[in-house]
Amino acid sequence: MIIVWVLALAAVAAVPWVRAVRRGEPLDVLELVYPFSILYFLEYGGRMIWLLLRPETLAAQTPHPSVILAALAPTLAVAAGGLAAYLGGYYGVGRWLPTQHRASPSPLSPAVLASVAITAFTLGVAARTPMLLRGWYMNFAAVSFAREVPPAVHSLGYLGALTTVGYALAVIAFLSSPRPRWLGWVLFGVIVPLETLSTFLTGSKFAFLNLILIPLVAVHYLRRALRLRTLAIVTAAFLLVVVPLIAAYRGVVAVDGPKAFAAPESIPTLLGRVVSRFFTLSPGAYADATMGVVVSRFIGIDALASVVGAIPVLTPYLGGESLLWAAKILVPTVVWPEKYDALQEILRPIPLLFGFSDFSRGGLSITLPGEFYWNFGLPGVLVGMGLVGVLQATLVRLLRQRGDPGRIGAYALVWVWVVLSFEGWFYVVFSNVLRILVLAAAVVWLAARLSVYREPAEARA
């Protein structure tokens, strides 16, 4: 029965690809639905195949693997239903939304956009620096992280997203024509190195993947379409180089603790130790830092099975309580200092679902379908994933406009967040996508207004 559900999930995940071929439509590999459906299958179906081959893997995820194994068949059915609902929302909404069209030439001046983007990047660096230099990003338990950071610094840190927004829009300006001659020196001499360093210091593979894919998405829509071969090469480089480097970095920081960030001058020493640790990895440690990380990352079926097997027996349905945090989390911490204490009360049962007593093993995500199930059961998964499909289709039609650099910049900024949204909490994904879109819209709007004043003759023409 499990194999049947795996095949059913694979068939549902193949729908976007088969649909494009049968309709003779051009297949845009960076349209959200294609990578989302593939990665969704890997998260649930691919992981299920791995567990059938290596059931002992569950021992690292929970002290009670038999509970997860007993719930695998119904869990796959829930996952397949969620993906089908997502595709229904994604394609069903198309008939109600305006048809996508090629945008008219953008009024944005590349020079003005570059200047505003650099300003935004500078403000973002200033907002992010206190967290980086204190090593607060290196606490991987989300609730503990939130408690350690002073409320004012935490609220200021929200503007740290301006670094990524500025970086992305500087890339957009560089790809636009005519670009200012000085932009290449600033972009590749200052912005890219600083953004790479600050992203690396967060210790987040997700953030680094976002850093890499932003320019690829921009090139794909503003210059030439990328081939699957190019994306495969980039993915391989990320897995074989970046992922083990981040693993080495986390290992060094785990030993040194906060003293690794005692002063700015300690960072070069820290990076030197990371490189040294990377080149001394044994073959087994290197394999564990590459493919082992991938295997341990795709644990959606484990998490969803924990929810399906335990709710409402172990803990009751939430009735939408966690979903409301998509709005509550936007309240600045300086205004509501107890915000994360209140959030922890909602999330307190999560470790119990995995067989642990607390969050000492880090943040434990039950995945997006799991959260929908915890709130409203199977109907919650179907309705919730359907709405996710509607939201993604709306983003595609509003932002994927090849002739509009500003919209493409926004699309590139949220691409990774949206494509990997199935593995996170709704309040995390929604609040971050909203924050990024608002900041990007503000920067692009300001650049457009200034472009009119800078080039009035061209604007009138």
- DSSP per residue over 369-396, as a string? HHHHHHHHHHHHHHHHHHHHHHHHHHHH
Instruction: Determine contact, residues 67/306, Cβ cutoff 8 Å.
Output: yes
Instruction: Determine contact, residues 103/407, Cβ cutoff 8 Å.
Output: yes
What pLDDT is recorded for position 343? Answer: 87
> Domain locations in the chain?
2-101+300-388, 110-296+401-460
Beta strands in 138-186 (DSSP E): none
**443-457: per-residue pLDDT in tens?**
999 999 888 776 554
**337-385: per-residue pLDDT in tens?**
888 888 888 888 888 887 777 666 655 678 999 999 999 999 999 999 9
Q: What are phi and psi of 121, to 5 degrees?
A: -60, -45
Contacts of residue 426, defined as CB under 8 A and 6 or more positions apart, other chains included, come to 322, 323, 325, 326, 368, 371, 372, 384
Q: 141: pLDDT confidence band, cut at 50, 70 and 90?
A: very low
Question: pTM to 2 decimals?
Answer: 0.90
Tell whether the model's pLDDT for residue 87 goes beyond 60. Answer: yes
Average of per-residue pLDDT across 55-77: 80
CA 146 to chain centroid, in Å, comes to: 19
- DSSP per residue over 12-52, as a string? HHTHHHHHHHHHT----TTSTHHHHHHHHHIIIIIHHHHHH
Closest residue by Cα to residue 115 from 40, 191, 63: 191
Query: How far apart, in whole angstroms, are the C-alpha atoms of residue 306 and residue 70?
Result: 10
What pLDDT is recorded for position 461? Answer: 45
What pLDDT is recorded for position 72? Answer: 86
Average pLDDT, the chain: 85
